[in-house]
Amino acid sequence: METQWCQECCGPCECWNPDHPEREPQGLELEGDALVVYLDSLTEEERLEIAGPWPVRWLYPWREGEPERGINVCGGCGGGCVGLRAVLGIELDLICVDSHKDATATAQAAGCTAIRMDVRDLDPCHPALRGTWRAAFTMPCPDWSVAGKRIGLQPQNIKILVDAMADVAQAYGNVWRAGGHHGDVSTAEFGRPYDVTVAEMWSWVGELAEGERTAGLMLAPVLVGMGLLAAGAPLESVIIEQAWTLPEAVKAAIGIEYIVAGWNGVLWDILDAGEFGSPSTRRRAIMVGSRERLDVVEAPGITTWASDAIGWDPETWINTRGVRKTSGGNEFKLGRTMPGVTSKIRGWYDADDPEHRFTIEEVCLLVGLPPGFPVVGSRSSQCRQLGDIFSPLVSAAVWASLLRVEWKQPLIRYLTELYPHVHGQHSYANAA
């Protein structure tokens, strides 16, 4: 794993200021071998300064045979990367970006190349991102989730967000243009906007009502995606993961921008990790977008009981809210695919033995990770990271659909290794 320039400062980097694009050093407008010659003429310190916070290698042109470059925005503790590496066995040159200190440290410990950065400080036209092939957006969900404040679902906030998406796309030049004798429709010419900054674009969602301040972050799939295309990046595919309650108007607003950009495949679906072999449910809205047409990802219907995954008695009742009663109850039996793991699992316990609680190793197993996954931080922080995870089981299927590789057999192998006392190859004859 390559050491990142900004990991010491752990904050916004001043070497590349998106508010002052004229600061781009002369020579970076070169391409191919000419760019290589120019970069090689610089000192390592100069290359680090230009590249920051990205790796120096990304300043250089992507070459045939090299792993494709990609970014995972709000990548958390790296669950999506586990789907790529551990399930599919694929190594992309993927960089995870997240603002949470512990989540970034966990991703790094797990083998990811990770950068601690607020997505609002990410300039998609940075010269180091011109070789980006893939982008994933696994955005936080408190303002959309049924377990959160749901301020993202308020009509006035949906309108603010959707309008901002359209304005951002237009700023990058992604608008319909009519032409030809028969009113043919083509897309506009992409280009970097010099009359509006990245910070100003983010200000367009600044009027959202108070909440967890996560609803506005859904601007990122448009701002970053359109920005990469405007910068000339060879972006081939996009993944978005969000709460299943994400409004249809927001889904449509994102999808239409990629369709306008000329992409042939944009699909939204609701996928539940519990149907991919996870011991806990995690129902999520997933978008896959590609320049090529796509096939729908179909869940294989593999089931894992939570009790079997961690070796507890299936008759165990788990208390989730103490003595507080809600319409949904405060207990569930472990002999099933259990309800979705949230950060509050840190306080869940055996109803007959309040001292008997889930270990972090068991929580990892309950969300589809190996028990030795190196989660960093306090117990509260660890549970929050695992509760926010992009299921590696779903991630594998989604990435495979974009990379056009087979995923069901690799998923079976992974589940067999993860829960060897539960599953065997014979259990999945219908999933092949």
| Structural domain contains residue 56 | yes
| Structural domain contains residue 82 | yes
| Structural domain contains residue 188 | yes
Write the CATH number for 134. 3.40.50.150
Domains contained in the chain, number? 1
Distance CA 201, CA 189 (A): 19
DSSP notation for 262-330: T-SEEEEEEEEGGGBT-SB--EEEEEEEESS--PPP----B---HHHHHT--TTPEEESSTT---TT-S
Owning domain of residue 84 = 21-294
| Structural domain contains residue 274 | yes
Q: pLDDT (tens digit, 0 to 9) for every residue of the chain, 432 residues total? A: 333 333 333 333 334 444 444 445 567 888 899 999 999 999 999 999 999 999 999 999 999 999 999 999 999 999 999 999 999 999 999 999 999 999 999 999 999 999 999 999 999 999 999 999 999 999 988 777 766 667 777 888 899 999 999 999 999 999 875 443 333 444 456 777 878 899 999 999 987 765 557 889 999 999 999 999 999 999 999 999 999 999 999 999 999 999 999 898 899 999 999 999 999 999 999 999 999 888 889 999 999 999 999 999 999 999 997 765 655 568 999 999 999 999 999 999 999 999 999 999 999 999 999 999 999 999 999 999 999 999 999 999 999 999 999 999 999 999 999 999 887 644 443 443
| Structural domain contains residue 39 | yes
Contact 291, 262 (CB under 8 A): yes
Contact 208, 155 (CB under 8 A): no
What long-range pairs does 367-372 form, CB within 8 A, spacing at least 24? 367/79, 367/273, 367/278, 367/279, 367/280, 367/282, 367/341, 367/391, 368/79, 368/82, 368/273, 368/277, 368/278, 368/279, 368/392, 368/393, 368/418, 369/79, 369/82, 370/86, 370/418
Three-class SS of residue 227? helix
| Structural domain contains residue 11 | no
| Structural domain contains residue 314 | no
Q: How far is CA 234 from CA 68, 229, 238, in A?
A: 10, 7, 12
| Structural domain contains residue 35 | yes
